[in-house]
Amino acid sequence: MKEKYIINANIIDPKNNLQETGGIIINGKGEVKAIGKKVTKLNIPKNAEVYDAKKNYIFPGIIDMRVFVGEPGFEYKENFHTLSNAALSGGVTSVVSMPNTSPVIDNVSMVDFIKRRGRDKSKINIFPCATLTKNIDGKNMTELGLLKKKGIIAFTDGLKSIQNSNIMSRIMKYANDIDALIIQHAEDSYLSAEGLINEGEISTRLGLEGIPDIAEKIIVERDLSLLENSFCRYHISQISSAKTIEVVRKNKNSGKKFSCGVSINNLSLNENDIGDFRTFLKLSPPLRTEEDRLSLIKGLNDNTIDNIVSDHKPEDEESKRLTFAKAATGASGIETLLPLALELYHNKLVSLKTIISSLTVNPAKILGLDKGHLKTGADADLSIVDINKPWIVKKEKLISKSKNTSIENRKLQGQVLRTYIKGDLLFNRS
């Protein structure tokens, strides 16, 4: 591979505290050779092929920590190939895939299958999770040590949380012994069993069973209490309420080592957006009040929340265009993750550096990956973004195999122009 040259760009690399106008040189190995204000047209070879970014932004490649692929078992919703193309269009270069497939990822043979399919069919970096419990039954712990040796990056039951405190404590202790990362979807299944949307005025008016915010708070409080005796690398997948953010903030100030994420859906939408039974906004965790949304934004600003995820969960139209009670839960969102996050910047709610940190270096730190930055010698995983380009979300223009976006017809500002992985230009919006 020949060296590549990108000049005249606004560069933001939070890990290396780099925020300046300049360029980047990518060597023949797909690594960053040089970056910053010293890289200009004046100090690169005269006959070199140069891309002028025209003052658009260079960001490190996004790491999305919560993605449902669909393969195996649900390929008609999404597969590694279609996911890869959708991710690249949104500047996402690495994803953490959830184990809620059919069959679930809870044994060595399934890990081998997922890694092979991810390598052969995907252009992006795939980091698979395995389940915490066999068949996601919440009862019998999987072979965490063996699965970690096979390359599993973290363990989670994905859509479900561990309800039994004794089992969760045992999992935490064992995870600590093998330095494994535990990711928990925080929701008390008994309190949320029949729930469809946030419990409150809207659920009452629509006549839909509600999911109380304490269902999330209870699990978070329990797990953080267990961490006092069962030390391990622990991550709350995504939170959605003001009550929970206060619990997280209090415990972070206590010195406990854990991390916490949030879905871009809960940062950008609230329960009022559901309107008259819009099933494409049936999500888990559910959209909550505007006060909850603003509390989450505050938590992002004060570093209580560490990362933002797309919670990309493709569903075909037949699964969504049903009554609210019967409709599938989830929305596709990997290609709109960055533009929606940039909306927070344009609305002067969150700084650009904080947004990019929550999408790149912070998830890399949580996962223990040498990704999410553009230091010399690092893999050249990056995107070039016009943060001001206006566009309207139309499902027919989305690349994901399923078109169940939660923001159909929403006006956004910011679009990915190019995406590189290890120096290879894999997406070009021309």
Q: Which residue in 311, 379, 381, 386 is the catalytic one?
A: 311
Count CB-CB contacts under 10 A for residue 166. 9
Q: What's the predicted TM-score (pTM) here?
A: 0.96
Tokens representing 331 are: 């929305």
> Domains in the chain, ordered, with CATH?
4-58+379-390+413-428 (2.30.40.10), 61-367 (3.20.20.140)
pLDDT at 125: 97
Cα→Cα distances 130→142, 242, 358, 384, 417, Å: 9, 30, 23, 32, 33
Cβ neighbourhood burial of 90 (10 Å; 0-12, 13-18, 19+): buried
Q: Which of 160, 269, 271 is nearest to 208 (CA)?
A: 271
pLDDT at 44: 86
Is residue 30 within 8 Å of 354, Cβ to Cβ? Answer: no
pLDDT at 48: 81
Is residue 288 within 8 Å of 271, Cβ to Cβ? Answer: yes
Count CB-CB contacts under 10 A for residue 356. 26
Tell me whether residue 311 is one of the annotated catalytic residues: yes
Average pLDDT per block of 10 residues along the chain, 430 residues long: 92 96 95 94 84 97 96 94 97 97 94 92 96 95 96 96 96 96 96 94 94 98 94 96 97 90 98 92 97 98 98 94 94 97 98 98 98 96 98 95 94 98 94
Q: Where are the alpha helices (DSSP H) in 309-386?
A: 317-320, 337-346, 352-359, 361-367
Cα→Cα distances 234→218, 228, 317, 358, 429, Å: 16, 12, 35, 17, 38
Tokens representing 333 are: 């969102």
